[in-house]
């Protein structure tokens, strides 16, 4: 049966070559879009590791060089925290260097047991864990206990723990990053948000009382009580401006930051999907047209088959079968191109599983597309009467 | 003869309406996508007000300062621009302004987020803003650090409820600024003139910016003529060598005068100053070539599928025309004549698709402007976009028409008359 179909396809090779090319390119377009969509979906479903519900961010600008005025800046930060704690609408106050959804990143890389290990680094205060409700899976967050320790504490995410120590218990281990000691492991800390790629994460402790290290939490994060409205922002800024003369403050609500982050990340994907959708619709309509035209060209052949006893059903199946074989060829050629991506690791950010899912979805959709396009023309072929075909000239 | 071709083309198009419809859908959709992109690029990079003098404007956008252990990459700093760019000889004018930063103003407790730029007086001479009321920030305002500002229409609507604003005050960053003028909104994608509020550079609370080689400033150079660009670029490059390093721990300083397109191309290709050891004009120009090449390749890849689709449809419709071709050939029409006829027919079809494409593009641009996706977006079509679109239509029509026409013209007259295509 297949051999027979192949022969028929080969006999009309010029027309079929064009259809084949069209199938290959459509498949590539579909695959590209599906891989991106899968990547977004997979990332979105992974846990964030913290909650930004009702969390606001105050970025602080002291308008002076923090390196030259360490004590003044740290003291100012401490006073700001105190002033915030006294406000009635606030549940918790903490400090952090890089707030969630903030675009800047800081990466640190080390050689560990002969491997190169990278981690995204961030600093947070003791209270930041409570504000962000971090999802601890082992150990604890930073606390006053760490004041006494001789080694600086660190909280790492599960991914970094696995990367460094495999299945061994990471708690209490000395990290290759500045010899910090692991006090806790969080499920994750995806600062860049739901659509970001999973990365290794390392959190270190900062204190506003630590004049020795002179590191600052540039952003104050706070969780407001339920029912707090946006009007509270102005009061917040006025209170802070009264606390520190000459400093300026900017308040943002992380829930809004998340919205705009999602908008910027989803817009290109959605645009791509709409364009690809139209491209495929165009291809589908084109295919229907071409197949329809082909059927009318093959009236004689089909009529002859009917005359010597082939049923309408058999003809129908033959036309669909040809389309199926052609699609399979197209997908095989397309797969040859596609397989280069995971094999050569052309885009290292995309894991193999995402490729497989994207591939599976596009294969199914391509068969669906070509079979649907083939259905109406091949149904038309059933209408061809043997007599009509034999008269044809 | 063309009239005849036209008549035949119309007849053919009307004969099988379903096919005509499919072809038109493919053509117009393809052109819509291409033209929306063209219009967007044109709106981003061609001279639109207030950048009416863009053809003789160069920018000094980025700078890099590095030493053994440190590296600062970012916008140019005030000290560098003030010391080495403002003093460029034989140029009409130089302006220094900061990149946009966000500030919050409050009205009845509600926050209004504004993009703030700090500018000097020259900025308002190089760029020709349309003033709805009042006037620009002047050189005197800059010299005396006057607390004045220019706001855009949207800010006037949000902060003053749309009523006349000149002479009234707006408060942000702990300071009260008197409104000197109100200008029309400038779209977000025009990086140089875009902002909600403009204030004098000298009102910056922290005077530290005056010492910085890298920072958040841009220098805008207005040349007498576009022909001076190479000379100015060379002069900037040669001046880099004289830049005083802030301390002995630094040993390299890089920057360049570029057009907006060159700067965008450099950033888009991701070749920041930091990653490339070879800087200067030559590399910047080569990125421009790469950006243009990349756009061309992307366009070709995109039209590949629609072209195959159209070729496919045209080829498969040959059977319909076979008797016509047979008759024409029998009466002595040459293959070249037939190819010409079919290409013209295809061009007519693409032209109709093109008209639909123009309408579609206008609708999509309108939707984009209304969506609020891009702040103050004002994507518009003009003669230039129309011409680009026309060229695209022509190219698309030729590419998709030539192969089928050649196939048709090659048919043997006897076979064609019998309606056999293989």
Distance CA B257, CA B62 (A): 9
**Chain A contact present for B109, CB below 8 A:** yes
Strands B148-152 and B175-183: parallel
Q: Which residue of chain A comes nearest to B204, CA vs CA?
A: A63
Q: Which residue of chain A comes nearest to B172, CA vs CA?
A: A248
What pLDDT, in 10s, does the model give residues B201-252? 999 887 788 888 888 899 999 999 999 999 999 999 899 888 888 888 788 8
pLDDT for res A388: 72
Quick one: pLDDT band at residue B271, thresholds 50, 70, 90? low
What pLDDT, in 10s, does the model give residues A170-229? 998 888 888 889 999 999 999 989 998 889 999 999 887 776 666 777 789 999 999 888
What pLDDT, in 10s, does the model give residues A84-130? 988 888 999 999 988 998 877 778 888 888 888 889 989 999 999 99
Q: Do B308 and A289 touch (CB under 8 A)?
A: no
Q: How far is the CA of B324 from the CAs of A19, A28, A89, A215, B8, in angstroms?
A: 26, 38, 84, 84, 11
Q: Between A326 and B411, name the one with better pLDDT.
A: A326
pLDDT for res B274: 42
Q: What distance in Å separates residue A392's CA from the closest CA in chain B?
A: 10
**Chain A contact present for B116, CB below 8 A:** no
What pLDDT, in 10s, does the model give residues B83-116? 999 999 999 999 999 988 888 888 887 888 899 9
Q: What distance in Å separates residue A149's CA from the closest CA in chain B?
A: 30
Scored b (16 or more CB within 10 A) or e, A209-221 reads eeeeeebbbbbbb
Question: For residue A160, what are its two tokens?
Answer: 């970094």
- Which residue in B375, B374, B382, B378 sits closest to B365, CA to CA? B378
* Residues in chain B within 8 Å Cβ distance of A288: 22
**Chain A contact present for B17, CB below 8 A:** no
pLDDT for res A346: 79
Asked if residue B42 has pLDDT above 50, the reply is: yes
What pLDDT, in 10s, does the model give residues B126-180? 999 999 999 999 999 999 999 999 999 999 999 999 899 999 999 988 789 999 9
Reply yes or no: is the peptide bond before residue A52 cis, omega within 30 of 0. no
The pLDDT > 90 percentage for chain A reads 38
Q: Which residue of chain B comes nearest to A230, CA vs CA?
A: B110
**Chain B contact present for A285, CB below 8 A:** yes
Q: Between B82 and A378, name the one with better pLDDT.
A: B82
**Chain B contact present for A297, CB below 8 A:** yes
Distance CA A143, CA A126 (A): 5
* Residues in chain B within 8 Å Cβ distance of A235: 109
Candidate from B18, B206, B308 with C-beta closest to A22? B308
| Distance, CA of B367 to chain centre | 18
Backbone φ and ψ of A103, nearest 5°:
-80, -20
Candidate from A64, A290, A393 with C-beta closest to B312? A290
Q: Between B422 and B233, name the one with better pLDDT.
A: B233
Q: Which residue of chain A comes nearest to B322, CA vs CA?
A: A297
For B318, what's the count of Cα atoms within 13 Å in the CB-facing half-sphere?
28
**Chain B contact present for A209, CB below 8 A:** no
Give me the DSSP letters along A336-380: HHHTHHHHHTSSTTS-HHHHHHHHHHHHHHHHHHHHHHHHHHHHH
| Binding-face residues of A in 69-98 toward B, CB within 8 A | none
Name the range with the highest mean pLDDT among A47-56, B260-269, B280-289.
A47-56
**Chain A contact present for B227, CB below 8 A:** no
> pTM above 0.90?
no
Q: Do A26 and B305 touch (CB under 8 A)?
A: yes
pLDDT for res A28: 93
Q: How far is the CA of A25 from the CAs of A315, A325, A360, B22, B362, in angstroms?
A: 28, 17, 16, 19, 29
**Chain A contact present for B101, CB below 8 A:** no
| Binding-face residues of B in 166-205 toward A, CB within 8 A | 173-174, 205
Which residues 6+ apart lie within 8 Å of B61 measured at CB? Answer: B75, B76, B218, B258, B263
pLDDT for res B276: 45
Asked if residue A250 has pLDDT above 60, the reply is: yes
pLDDT for res B280: 42
* Residues in chain B within 8 Å Cβ distance of A275: 33
Q: Do A250 and B104 touch (CB under 8 A)?
A: yes
Q: Do B315 and A15 touch (CB under 8 A)?
A: yes
Candidate from B111, B304, B309 with C-beta closest to A286? B309
Distance CA B373, CA B381 (A): 19
What pLDDT, in 10s, does the model give residues A264-313? 889 889 999 999 999 999 999 989 988 888 887 787 788 888 888 888 88
Q: Do A279 and B22 touch (CB under 8 A)?
A: no
Averaged pLDDT, A55-77: 82
Asked if residue B123 has pLDDT above 80, the reply is: yes
Work out the number of other CB atoms within 10 angstroms of the CB of residue A310.
16
Backbone φ and ψ of B149, nearest 5°:
-145, 160
Scored b (16 or more CB within 10 A) or e, A16-44 reads bebbbbbbbbbbbbbbbbbbbbbbbebbe
Q: Which residue of chain B comes nearest to A16, CA vs CA?
A: B312
pLDDT for res B141: 94
Quick one: pLDDT band at residue B277, thresholds 50, 70, 90? very low
Q: How far is the CA of A226 from the CAs of A53, A55, A133, A229, in angstroms?
A: 9, 10, 15, 9
Q: Do A289 and B316 touch (CB under 8 A)?
A: yes
């Amino acid at each position: 049966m297949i051999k027979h179909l192949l022969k028929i396809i080969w006999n009309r090779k010029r027309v079929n070559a064009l259809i084949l090319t069209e199938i290959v390119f459509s498949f590539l377009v579909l695959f590209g879009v599906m891989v991106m969509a899968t990547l977004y979906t997979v990332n979105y479903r992974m846990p964030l590791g913290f909650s930004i519900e009702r969390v606001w961010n105050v970025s602080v600008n002291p308008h002076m060089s923090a390196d030259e005025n360490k004590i003044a800046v740290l003291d100012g930060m401490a006073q700001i925290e105190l002033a915030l704690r006294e406000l009635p609408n606030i549940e918790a106050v903490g400090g952090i260097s890089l707030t969630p959804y903030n675009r800047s990143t800081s990466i640190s890389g080390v050689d560990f047991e002969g491997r190169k290990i990278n981690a995204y680094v961030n600093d947070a205060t003791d209270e930041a864990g409570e504000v962000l409700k971090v999802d601890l899976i082992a150990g604890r967050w930073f606390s006053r206990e760490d004041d006494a320790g001789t080694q600086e504490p660190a909280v790492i995410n599960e991914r970094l723990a696995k990367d460094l120590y495999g299945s061994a218990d990471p708690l209490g281990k000395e990290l290759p990053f500045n010899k910090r000691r692991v006090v806790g492991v969080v499920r994750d800390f995806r600062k860049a948000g739901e659509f970001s790629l999973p990365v290794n994460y390392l959190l270190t402790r900062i204190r506003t009382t630590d004049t020795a290290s002179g590191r600052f939490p540039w952003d104050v994060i706070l969780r407001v009580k339920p029912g707090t409205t946006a009007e509270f922002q102005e009061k917040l800024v006025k209170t802070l401006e009264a606390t520190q003369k000459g400093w300026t403050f900017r308040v943002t609500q992380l829930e809004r930051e998340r919205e705009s982050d999602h908008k910027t990340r989803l817009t290109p994907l959605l645009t791509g999907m709409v364009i690809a959708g139209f491209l495929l619709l165009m291809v589908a309509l084109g295919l229907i047209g071409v197949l329809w035209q082909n059927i009318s060209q093959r009236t004689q052949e089909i009529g002859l088959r009917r005359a010597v006893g082939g049923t309408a059903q058999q003809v129908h199946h033959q036309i669909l079968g040809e389309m199926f074989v052609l699609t399979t060829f197209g997908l095989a050629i397309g797969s040859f191109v596609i397989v280069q991506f995971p094999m050569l690791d052309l885009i290292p950010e995309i894991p193999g599983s995402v490729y497989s899912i994207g591939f599976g979805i596009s294969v199914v959709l391509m068969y669906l597309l070509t079979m649907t396009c083939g259905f109406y023309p091949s149904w038309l072929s059933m209408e061809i009467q043997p007599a009509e075909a034999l008269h044809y000239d | 003869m063309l009239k005849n071709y036209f008549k035949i083309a119309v007849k053919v198009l009307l004969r099988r309406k379903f096919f005509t419809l499919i072809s038109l859908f493919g053509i117009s959709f393809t052109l819509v996508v291409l033209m929306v992109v063209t219009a967007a690029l044109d709106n981003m990079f061609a001279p639109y007000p207030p950048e009416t003098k863009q053809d003789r404007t160069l920018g000094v956008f980025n700078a890099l300062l590095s030493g053994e252990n440190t590296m600062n990459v970012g916008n140019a700093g005030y000290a560098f621009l003030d010391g080495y760019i403002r003093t460029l000889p034989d140029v009409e004018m130089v302006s220094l302004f900061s990149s946009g930063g966000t500030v919050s103003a409050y009205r009845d407790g509600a926050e209004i987020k504004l993009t703030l730029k700090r500018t000097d007086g020259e900025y308002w001479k190089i760029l020709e803003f349309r003033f709805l009321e009042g006037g620009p920030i002047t050189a005197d305002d800059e010299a005396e650090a006057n607390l004045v500002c220019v706001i855009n229409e949207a800010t006037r609507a949000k902060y003053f409820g749309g009523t006349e604003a000149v002479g009234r005050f707006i408060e942000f960053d702990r300071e009260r600024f008197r409104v000197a003028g109100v200008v029309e909104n400038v779209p977000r994608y025009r990086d140089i003139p875009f902002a909600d509020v403009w204030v004098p550079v000298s009102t910056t609370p922290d005077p530290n910016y005056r010492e910085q080689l890298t920072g958040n400033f841009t220098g805008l150079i207005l040349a007498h003529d576009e022909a001076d660009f190479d000379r100015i670029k060379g002069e900037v490059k040669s001046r880099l060598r004289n830049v005083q390093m802030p301390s002995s721990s630094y040993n390299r300083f890089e920057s360049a005068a570029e057009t907006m397109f060159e700067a965008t191309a450099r950033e888009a290709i991701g070749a920041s100053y930091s990653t490339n050891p070879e800087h200067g004009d030559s590399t910047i120009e080569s990125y421009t070539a790469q950006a243009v090449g990349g756009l061309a390749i992307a366009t070709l890849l995109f039209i590949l599928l629609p072209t195959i689709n159209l070729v496919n449809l045209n080829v498969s419709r040959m059977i319909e025309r076979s008797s016509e071709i047979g008759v024409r050939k029998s009466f002595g029409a040459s293959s070249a004549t037939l190819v010409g006829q079919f290409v013209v027919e295809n061009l007519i079809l693409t032209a109709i698709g093109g008209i639909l494409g123009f309408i579609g593009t206008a609708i999509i641009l309108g939707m984009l402007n209304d969506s609020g996706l891009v702040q103050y977006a004002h994507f518009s079509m003009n003669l230039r976009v129309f011409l680009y679109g026309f060229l695209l239509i022509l190219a698309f029509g030729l590419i998709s028409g030539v192969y089928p026409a050649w196939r048709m013209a090659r048919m043997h007259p006897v076979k064609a008359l019998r309606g056999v295509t293989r």
